[in-house]
Chains A and B, each alone.
Chain A
Amino acid sequence: MSIAFPTPDEAVLSRRNEILAGLGRLVAPEALIVTEDERRAFETDGLTAYRHMPLAVVLPSSTQEVSAILRFCRENGVKVVPRGAGTSLSGGAIPQADAIVLGVAKMNRVLDVDFENRVAHVQAGITNLAISQAVAHEGFFYAPDPSSQLACTIAGNIAMNSGGAHCLKYGVTTNNLLGVTMVLLDGTVVELGGAHLDSAGYDLLGLVCGSEGQLGIVTEASVRILRAAEGARPALLGFERVEDAGACVAAIIAAGIIPVALEYMDRPAIQICDAFAHAGYPLDVDAMLIVEVEGSDQEIDDMLRRIVAIAEPFRPKTVKVSQSEAESAAIWKGRKSAFGATGRVADYICMDGTIPTGQLPKVLRRIDEIAKSYGLGVANVFHAGDGNLHPLVMFDSSKPGEMEKAEAAGEDILKLCVEVGGCLTGEHGVGIEKRDLMPYQFNAVDLEQQMRVRGVFDPGWLLNPAKVFPLEGRFAA
């Protein structure tokens, strides 16, 4: 275990019964989880290598209950770890022994859909996909689509400013969020933004989005919904050289085309995914692109024709333009099974960094070298249009020390992202995973300024306290 947690506060641990009793007065008995067996389900999230049993878990049903719980926690000096569905890959929802977990998953209703103004008003515990499902009958959808969209909540998406495969065209959460109801640690309920396009005053909504549960608990959200395109179809392009695939991405964008998705897979990823999904991927290339465009059939044909012509000078070894829904599904099936398929051949950690796309060939070469230097394998599947990399660093957890090697390789890869002008995380968040790497991207003054802003909302540093900012160098709250 290389990521440190602060020593739990003995005074809080010793007051556990008193704290549980206090919380018990605020919510219904079934909303308070205290037994060890039941708490175990909440001891980790998507970063399963780390786990801590929380003091208790509270699952409130309303903004008022959240308000009462937070006020109680503040008055009693109890730390609070907010949780949506617990799918965070960066450990954003991993508890601490002296903290309660406050889960919003019970607040999962659609409150109102206003198709004319293209806004859905939902409770924060609703899953990402459920929003799209609730508006699909009118042909609408909610655009940001993290891979975990079946399970993850909009609360977690807001906390992490989540993205997904379609963000090149539609933007990430912050570009699709119009307003939130948020509870501050002292129990105050604030409304930020609303059903209109612009907020008044400081852009607090923009600040809250991506703040990883450190500023308050979001209980309701107003999100933009978009009318779905008439259709969408991908083309698959295979290249002998990584450089050619990278240059092709640049040429597509230079030609004025913003595909709705532009996915990149390297040789190991192609092999692993095709073996699992039998997607018909080319097995003799070093790099593969999936380029998807939207519109009417005629528009799609026109656009895919342009893309194939743009790719020509880069000598693609494979060009497969989907002609049917079945072919599209096959192309996507391989890509979408990447994480599961990799899990069948090895243990892996999924990294998440962003680079300027011009650095792609260089960075991929370096990633390979880094993995090899630790004696590990790596597969790359990522969103090429926006440079958001997801190297899967593979290891064997049955061999002692291999996971630590994978973590070290992952750290080197993230540092490389920063070195070439990118950042430590494009969509998973900092959480605990990248907390100690923050000084690679920000200097002490930058970090202090962020922490000062954080302190405005949570001066006692009780909300998700062990996350985002390095434990070293924090000033006394």
Chain B
Amino acid sequence: MNTLIPRDEQDAASIVADAAARRMPLNLCGNGTKAAMGRPNQIEASLTSAALTGITLYEPAEMVISARSGTPLAEVVETLAEKGQQLPFEPMDYRLLLGSRGEPTIGAVAAMNLSGPRRIMEGAARDSLIGVRFVNGRGEVIKSGGRVMKNVTGLDLVKLMAGSWGTLGFLTEVTFKVLPKPERMSTLLIRGLDDESAVAALSAALGSPFDVTAAAHLPAPDRQGARTLIRLEGFSVSVDYRLGELRRLLKRFGGADILEGRGAEAVWQALRDASIFQDRGERAVWRISTAPTKGPTLVARVAETIEAQWFYDWGGGLVWLATPAEGDLGAAAIRAATSALGGHATLVRAPDADRSRLDVFEPQAEAVMALSRGIKASLDPAGILNPGRMYAGI
């Protein structure tokens, strides 16, 4: 594949303008660690942000960081950590799940709206993304948002770019709101709950005033092995107090242990990255978003039809499912369950052939698709930016 590596934003704009004039589709990427996601496309040329690197602004007291899109995520995370800060939404790292190598970029975090377990408390990447610069499909440089967290000036194209998978523009710079890193992290662990009880426990914790920053359930074939996890963060005095209160609140679900330190961090990282399914490379992996209390019902319906493994994040609002890589990979059962119970499913890991013939993203109502097509055309009239990566024709 022909790889185009712009050295700056203007260079990127010229490349895209030229491609638009020639109606030459471009595969947009950073370092390609998530190339195996979305709908596969047969594009000859790649446009990469690999050379657009560097943090361009960091003001810890203003809780804001800007970086060129190809900046390694790790560099951003380390820079923030030096000042005791972090990206609040805990961006997911897909490398273990997809078996890919290389450095994930901050641009992909925005373009794919990569988020983790703190989603329940602090929102997704899109909630912290406050500014973008990008090249649209006409080769024009566009800015939206800025570097201040309250900004309602004009249409919020920032949100539109978040999670658009490079189909609307080539991000050149992104600006995120950041938060202080908590002094202490502690996790309550309850063992042996079935899915229903676990989600009830998680919902009770999340509905309490005790600021739970993550809540997950890992079922096990023998129920004794099941683990229900609730994370608290903050100043030590406050964490102690809230641990005590939560233990009392959740007494009816059984006794709770407390996890701290590296072990606890590793558990949350594994949940964040869905790396629990990493060694099941032969299986398909789905990511389902639904109302938290509907998670167990949704899973039960799917499991009636196909053999599956699963776990719950966000107190049940996010379900990760691994299914056998055969037939429709469970698509029919999963889509039936999401349409009956509300929510949507994304086929995250599957061979190219399967991602070509199945819907990777949840099919949408025709009126919504019509708007999406209109938006695509308004930003990329020649249809050259990652065409078909999300939906056919987009």
Contact = CB atoms under 8 A, between A and B. Distances in A.
Interface stretch (A35-43, A202-210, A275-283): A202-210
Interface in A421-468: 421-430, 434, 438, 441-442, 445-447, 449-450, 452-457, 468
A416 interface: no
Interface string B331-348: 000000000001110100
B252 to A, nearest CB: 15
Nearest to B373: A456
Contacts of B183: 256
A63 B378 CA distance: 28
A117 B316 CA distance: 10
A468 B156 contact: no
Interface stretch (B20-28, B36-44, B204-212, B264-272): B204-212
Contacts of A30: none
Contact of A256 (B181, B208, B342, B364): B181
Interface string A252-279: 0111111000000000000000000000
Contacts of B162: 203, 206
Interface in B67-118: 83-84, 113
Contacts of B50: none
B292 A190 contact: no
Given A161-B152, A211-B155, A253-B61, A302 B237 contact: yes
Given A163-B150, A202-B160, A450-B155, A190 B291 contact: no
Given A449-B379, A452-B378, A207 B159 contact: yes
A256 B371 contact: no
Interface in B341-391: 342-344, 346, 361-362, 364-365, 367-368, 371-372, 374-375, 377-379, 390-391
Interface string B122-137: 0110110000000010
Given A203-B162, A298-B237, A386-B150, A197 B375 contact: no
A205 B159 CA distance: 9
A209 B159 contact: yes
A447 to B, nearest CB: 8
* Residue with the highest number of chain B CB atoms closer than 10 Å, among A167, A200, A306, A446: A200
A201 B391 contact: yes
Contacts of B289: 196-198, 200
Interface residues of B, number: 83
Contacts of B344: 196, 198-200
A457 B148 contact: no
A226 B62 CA distance: 26
B5 to A, nearest CB: 24
28 contacts: A116-B203, A184-B371, A194-B343, A198-B344, A204-B368, A204-B375, A207-B160, A209-B156, A210-B152, A211-B155, A230-B209, A258-B179, A296-B245, A298-B237, A303-B238, A356-B148, A388-B150, A421-B148, A426-B151, A430-B153, A442-B153, A445-B141, A446-B144, A446-B154, A450-B157, A453-B160, A453-B378, A456-B378
Interface of A: 114-119, 139-140, 160-161, 163, 167, 171-172, 174-175, 184, 188-192, 194-207, 209-211, 227-230, 249-251, 253-258, 295-296, 298-299, 302-303, 306, 354-358, 383, 386-388, 421-430, 434, 438, 441-442, 445-447, 449-450, 452-457, 468
Given A253-B180, A438-B153, 11 more contacts: A160-B152, A189-B367, A195-B342, A196-B343, A200-B346, A206-B156, A209-B159, A298-B241, A358-B62, A446-B144, A457-B374
Interface of B: 59-64, 83-84, 113, 119-120, 123-124, 126-127, 136, 140-144, 146-160, 162-164, 168, 179-183, 203, 206-209, 235, 237-238, 241, 245, 289-294, 314, 317-318, 342-344, 346, 361-362, 364-365, 367-368, 371-372, 374-375, 377-379, 390-391
